[in-house]
Amino acid sequence: MFLPKMHRQCHRTSLLGYVLLFHLLFFLAPPLVSSIIVSSPAEIHASKGDTVTLSCTFTSTSRPTSKMTIDWSYRPQTGGPPQAFFHFSSRAFPPLEGQFSGRIQWRGSPAKGEASIALINSTLKDNGTYTCSVRNPPDVHGNPNSQTVLTVTPKVPSIRFSDIAVLLFFVLIPSTIIALVLIGQMLCPERERGQSKGYRSAIEVADGEEYENDRKEGIMKGATCCDLAMTDSESEYEYHMKQNTPAQDYAESQC
């Protein structure tokens, strides 16, 4: 009776030892399944025509191997299912057709945890959500996807130096000259009026002389002595005044 009892006690002790050893190995041994974490900016804003870098980084407990894959997908702002347009597996496979054909550049470096791409000549149609997915077996858990919302807006026109030069030459300079001329006319009105009175053009002088000759000829043709005295010109009157001769009395005596 004593031997079977001791045998049972030894068996229980050995079972307890196995359980403790299993728990010790389970907690101290490295995990067989590791995880991967992918991150990217939540939002990116750009102007039409810009080259946009869609940044994506990842951390993994396993070194990148030839089995690692990187995929980019796009979902339009208007909604709809995601559309895969870029794939990386040992080398980059940019899109050959569709909306992003010829506009995607690979800027990643898996050894450094980089999975970024560049979108060339962005347009308003590129607005939407971009998803970066990284797979690096045996990393199968964690957060292998990350999303970025891209917003492209129209570019604001900028004023170039040539535009400013044209504006100065054709608008501001002529306006300044006209303003200076008007100010000069306001400051010197008497001088200009005196010059306008003293100056007579050749046409005005010729017209005046012709009119004077015609007037004198009309007076001489059938005018009486009194008419001659009454139509005496201003220059003749001044001449008589200088000679101190009473021209009017002399005309009356003749009549």
Domain ranges of the chain: 35-153, 201-255
User: Among the residues of 46-160, which ranges form H helices?
Assistant: none
Please compute the mean of the pLDDT values over residues 165-169 and round it to a whole number: 70
Q: What is the mean pLDDT of the chain?
A: 74
pLDDT at position 9 is 54
Q: Tens digit of pLDDT for each residue in 154-166?
A: 987 766 656 677 7
Please compute the mean of the pLDDT values over residues 53-63 and round it to a whole number: 93
In 3D space, the residue among 128, 154, 153, 150 whose CA is nearest the CA of residue 43 turns out to be 150
Task: Return the CATH fold of 35-153.
Answer: Immunoglobulin-like (2.60.40)
pLDDT at position 184 is 79
In 3D space, the residue among 92, 57, 120, 94 whose CA is nearest the CA of residue 84 turns out to be 94
d(CA 91, CA 109) in angstroms, rounded, equals 10
- pLDDT of 143 strictly over 80: yes
pLDDT at position 248 is 47
Greater pLDDT, 92 or 170: 92
Identity at 59, one-letter amino acid code: T
pLDDT at position 116 is 97
pLDDT at position 31 is 46
Please compute the mean of the pLDDT values over residues 35-52 and round it to a whole number: 95
